[in-house]
Structure 1
Amino acid sequence: MKYFFLSDGWTYGRVWEFGGLWDRLSWGRKPEIKRLNCGAIQQEETLWLHAVEDAVLMVEVHPKETSSAESSIGQVVLKRLIDADRAIEILSESQSIFNNS
């Protein structure tokens, strides 16, 4: 598994794998991405930990909602994924939070 942190109010969009952009027709399914029930608070921002399958290399993230007056071009970020050791390190260095729902 690989991991990434995602801020409250943000979601993921396109997903890349070794061959390029994830192709649902070739794979026959969506990539496996799951929000876990733990996260961290850094600089007063809530970051939730997400797990992705090993085939995923990079994930595009963006705000869930943007006003029509705003351009979303500058609000898209490509997240490189981290391993479990780095995710644990970030959680241990930050104020950890848990969602039991």
Structure 2
Amino acid sequence: MKYFFLSEGWEVGRVWEPAGIWNLAVWRRQPLIEQTALVVIEQDERLCLYQVEEAVLMVEVKPGPGLVNHSGQQGIGQVVLKRLMTAEQVLTYLISHGGIEKIEQLALTPNSAEMSLIP
């Protein structure tokens, strides 16, 4: 598995695999992207840890509907490509990053952890 942190209110857009953007016709399924129970609070921002299957190389994330940025404007045109981390890199980040204020554990239901792609 690979991992990435995602700010609350942000959503996954496109997903890349070795041949390019994830192709539903080839794979015959959505990529496996699940929220874990770990949440890190850093500079008053809640970052949820997600895990993805090994075939995923990169994910595009963008503000969800209704998310307002610091200037009071809706997050239009803000897209970020997330680099994925190994489990070891996640642990190193949690241990050595000085900006982490708090680590929380979510109570997830079996279906609440599943994520679908945004069209």
1-structure distance, mates of 2:82, 2:94 = 17
Q: Deviations over 1:13-70 (max 9, x none)?
A: 1000010000011001000000001121111110000000000000000011158x85
1:11/1:61 contact within 8 Å kept: yes
The alignment covers a number of residue pairs equal to 99
Which whole-Å CA distance do the structure 1 matches of 2:30 and 2:91 have between them?
26
For normalisation by structure 2, the TM-score amounts to: 0.76
For the pair 1:89 / 2:92, whether they are aligned, the reply is yes
Gaps of 5+ in 1: none
Which contiguous aligned blocks of 4+ residues in structure 1 show a shift greater than 6 angstroms?
none
Q: What letter is aligned with 1:45?
A: E
Distance in structure 1 (CA, Å) of the matches to 2:39 and 2:91: 10
Shift of 1:90: 2.4
Calculate percent identity across the aligned residue pairs. 44
Q: Which blocks of at least 5 consecutive residues in structure 2 are unaligned?
A: 68-72, 109-119
Q: How much is the aligned-residue C-alpha RMSD, in angstroms? A: 1.7
Determine helix, strand or coil for the equivalent of 2:92. Answer: helix
Q: TM-score, normalised by structure 1?
A: 0.89
**Residue 25 (structure 2) pairs with residue 21 (structure 1):** no
Q: For 1:89, what is the secondary structure of its paired residue? A: helix
Structure that is richer in helix per residue = 1
More strand by share: 1
1:72 aligns with 2:76: yes
Is 2:63–2:75's contact at 8 Å kept on the other side of the alignment? no
Matching of residue 58 in structure 1 with residue 58 in structure 2: yes
- Confirm or deny: 8 A CA contact 1:17 1:58 kept in the other structure: yes
Q: Equivalent residue for 2:112? A: none
Deviations 1:49-99 (A, max 9, x none): 0000000000000011158x85722x1100010110111222334221111
In structure 2, the partner of 1:100 is 107
Equivalence for 1:7: 7
Amino acid at match of 2:84: L
